[in-house]
């Protein structure tokens, strides 16, 4: 469903002195309904990879496709349309609109799809309740804690039932119980067929994934399916 073909991303590629190779010949395929974790040290290229999969950034070389759409070849305008139709993006830096209330922020993707206000607000309040922040609906983001902002950003990404969820450290600002709610929600969505790609530094989050990809200096150094890891473990147990 998602095919990443020999993707390399070089920042500042016009100036050798400052150029950064953020991704180097990354290839992988991700199936529908897979819950994929991406791990690796700060600066190893995780956000770069997510942004390229979501069409927010273009690879320097290589190709990314989603179903029959070549994401890496879309114009900026087509790319925004593609994201609005298919992707729920949870950004590391939230990107909430400070001039909109919590409810207006999370229902914005529905407004862009022409959903009526009454229906938008009903769905919006339901999802806020799921994450325990329904009492914040009318507030502006500057009055929220970091963890509350993070949950608003997650609610906004999930409200359209996207086919693909790209989540950049969605539990980074949450305590363990709120983190669990988020990971369980993503896990349930994956079981229902939504593809989820999750960047995380949290071991508990990784345990919930079907597959874990490790990056180091822009290169894939690990690609482990949970069932394979389980089989490998069983084989080791049997032989010992």
Ligand X SMILES: Nc1ncnc2c1ncn2[C@@H]1O[C@H](COP(=O)(O)OP(=O)(O)OP(=O)(O)O)[C@@H](O)[C@H]1O
Determine whether 130 is exposed, middle or buried from the number of CB atoms within 10 Å of its CB (0-12, 13-18, 19+).
middle
Contacting ligand X within 15-74 (CB under 6 A): 20, 22, 40, 42-48
Nearer to Mg ion, 65 or 92 (CB): 92
CA distance 130 to 95: 21
DSSP string, 30-77: E-TT-EEEEE--TTSSHHHHHHHHTTSS--SEEEEEETTEEGGG--HH
CB of 57 to Mg ion, least distance (A): 12
What track of x and - describes contact with ligand X for positions 90 through 109 (by CB under 6 A)?
A: --x-----------------
Nearer to ligand X, 22 or 208 (CB): 22
Nearer to ligand X, 76 or 135 (CB): 76
| Contacting residues toward Mg ion, per CB under 5 A | 47
- Contact partner at residue 107 from Mg ion, ligand X, none, CB < 5 to 8 Å by partner kind: none
**125, two tokens:** 């309040």
Closest residue to Mg ion: CB criterion? 47
Nearer to ligand X, 11 or 95 (CB): 11
Size of the site for ligand X (CB under 6 A): 13
- Contact partner at residue 44 from Mg ion, ligand X, none, CB < 5 to 8 Å by partner kind: ligand X
What separation in angstroms does the CA of 61 have from each of 13, 17, 96, 194? 12, 20, 31, 28
CA distance 216 to 26: 11
Nearer to Mg ion, 38 or 127 (CB): 38
- Contact partner at residue 11 from ligand X, Mg ion, none, CB < 5 to 8 Å by partner kind: ligand X
Q: Under DSSP, is residue 84 helix (H, G, I), strand (E, B) or coil?
A: helix
**6, two tokens:** 């020999």
- Given the rule CB under 6 A, which residues bind ligand X? 11-12, 20, 22, 40, 42-48, 92
């Amino acid at each position: 469903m998602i095919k990443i073909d020999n993707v390399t991303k070089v920042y500042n590629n016009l100036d050798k002195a400052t150029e950064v190779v953020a991704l180097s010949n990354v290839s992988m395929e991700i199936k529908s309904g897979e819950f994929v974790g991406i791990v690796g040290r700060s600066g190893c290229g995780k956000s770069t990879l997510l942004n390229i999969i979501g069409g927010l950034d273009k690879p320097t070389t290589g190709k990314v496709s989603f179903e029959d759409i070549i994401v890496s070849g879309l114009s900026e305008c087509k790319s925004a349309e593609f994201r609005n139709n298919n992707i729920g993006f949870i950004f590391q830096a939230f990107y909430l609109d400070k001039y909109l209330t919590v409810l207006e922020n999370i229902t914005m993707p529905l407004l862009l799809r022409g959903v009526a206000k009454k229906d938008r607000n009903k769905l919006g309040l339901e999802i806020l309740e799921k994450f325990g922040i329904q009492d914040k609906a009318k507030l502006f983001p500057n009055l929220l804690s970091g963890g509350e902002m993070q949950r608003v950003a997650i609610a906004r990404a999930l409200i359209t039932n996207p086919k693909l969820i790209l989540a950049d450290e969605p539990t980074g600002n949450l305590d363990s119980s709120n983190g669990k709610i988020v990971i369980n929600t993503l896990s349930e969505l994956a079981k229902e067929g939504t593809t989820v790609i999750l960047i995380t530094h949290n071991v508990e989050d990784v345990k919930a994934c079907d597959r874990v990809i490790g990056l180091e200096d822009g290169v894939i150094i690990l690609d482990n399916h949970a069932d394979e890891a389980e089989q490998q473990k069983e084989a080791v147990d049997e032989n010992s």
